[in-house]
Chains A and B, each alone.
Chain A
Amino acid sequence: DIQMTQSPSTLSASVGDRVTITCRASQNINRWLAWYQQKPGKAPKILIYKASNLESGVPSRFSGSGSGTEFTLTITNLQPDDSATFYCQHYNNYPLTFGGGTKVEIK
C-alpha cells in the first residue's frame, strides 16, 4: 500500500503570506495526486487534481506541483477564508490513501 505523508501537520501564517504544504508518497505515483480543502463541519472540497491542475472555480492563489513521490500545495497571498485543513490523496492504484492533513491557521 502507498503511504502519504504530509508536513507540517499544523502551520500558522499571516494574511498575505505564501505557505507551502508538502506531501510525500512512499512510492512513485506519477502525477496521480489530488489536494482537498476541508473547513470545520463541512465536507472536503477538491482544489487540485493531477498534481497541478486547478479545479474549476478554485482561486488562482492555490497551486500544486510535483511528480513521482514529492508534491507541494502552495497558497500565495493567504486569505482569512483559507483557514482550513488540507489533505493530499493519491489515486495511482488501490487502496486509495490520504495524507494525515495539514491544518492552516491564520494569525
Chain B
Amino acid sequence: EVRLLESGGGLVQPGGSLRLSCAASGFTFDTTAMGWVRQAPGKGLDWVSVITGAGGGIYYADSVKGRFTISRDNSNNMVYLEMDSLRAEDTAVYYCVKRADTTYFDFWGQGTLVTVSS
C-alpha cells in the first residue's frame, strides 16, 4: 500500500524558513519522481515542484523559484521541501505527491498546513 506522510508544517513569520518532510512507503522509491502541490485556503491546486527518481531533474513553479528547494534521500525514502523567504501568499496546505512515471500524480499525502503570518 502506498503511503505518503507529510510533516513539518506550522506557523512562521514572513521572511522566515520552514522545512517540510514526506515519508514514503509501499513502492520503489528511488525510481519514482516525487513532488509537492499546494492549496491555499479555499483556493485551487497549485503545483510547486518535482524531483526525478535519481534527483537529477528538478523543476519549480516560477512563484517559488529561488526561494524553495526540493531534495530527496533515497536511502530513507524521504522527500523534502526547504522553504525560505516565506510570504503570506505561501500560506497553504502542502501535499506530497507521487508521480506515475513522468506523468500525473497517482498518490497524494494528506497534507501539512503552512501558515505565514506575523
Tell me, yes or no, whether A binds B.
Answer: yes
List chain A positions with a Cβ less than 8 A from chain B. 1, 32, 34, 36, 38, 42-46, 49-50, 55, 87, 89, 91, 94-101
A91 pairs with B59, CB closer than 8 A: no
Q: A89-B45, A98-B45, A101-B44 are in contact. Are A43 and B95 (CB under 8 A)?
A: yes
B44 pairs with A98, CB closer than 8 A: yes
Q: How far does the alpha carbon of A44 sit from the alpha carbon of B110 in the complex, in Å?
A: 9
Number of interface residues of B (CB under 8 A): 20
Q: Which listed residue (B50, B106, B108) contacts A96, Cβ 8 A?
A: B50
Q: A98-B45, A100-B44 are in contact. Are A91 and B104 (CB under 8 A)?
A: yes
Contact partners of B106 in chain A: CB under 8 A: 46, 49, 55
A43 pairs with B111, CB closer than 8 A: yes
Q: Which listed residue (A42, A55, A95) contacts B61, Cβ 8 A?
A: A95
Contact partners of B104 in chain A: CB under 8 A: 34, 46, 49, 89, 91
Contact partners of A1 in chain B: CB under 8 A: 62
A87 pairs with B45, CB closer than 8 A: yes
B103 at the interface (CB under 8 A from A): yes
Q: A49-B103, A55-B106 are in contact. Are A94 and B59 (CB under 8 A)?
A: yes
List chain B positions with a Cβ less than 8 A from chain A. 44-47, 50, 59, 61-62, 95, 100, 102-111
Q: How far does the alpha carbon of A97 sit from the alpha carbon of B100 in the complex, in Å?
A: 16
Known: A45-B108, A89-B105, A96-B47. 18 other contacts (CB 8 A): A1-B62, A34-B103, A43-B95, A43-B111, A44-B95, A44-B105, A46-B104, A46-B105, A49-B100, A49-B104, A89-B47, A95-B47, A95-B59, A95-B61, A95-B62, A97-B47, A98-B47, A101-B44
Q: How far does the alpha carbon of A96 sit from the alpha carbon of B105 in the complex, in Å?
A: 11
Q: Which 7 A-B pairs have the closest CB atoms?
A: A34-B104, A43-B108, A96-B47, A98-B45, A49-B104, A101-B44, A94-B59
Q: Which listed residue (B45, B62, B103, B109) contacts A50, Cβ 8 A?
A: B103
Expressed in whole angstroms, the minimum distance between the Cβ of B62 and any Cβ of chain A is 7
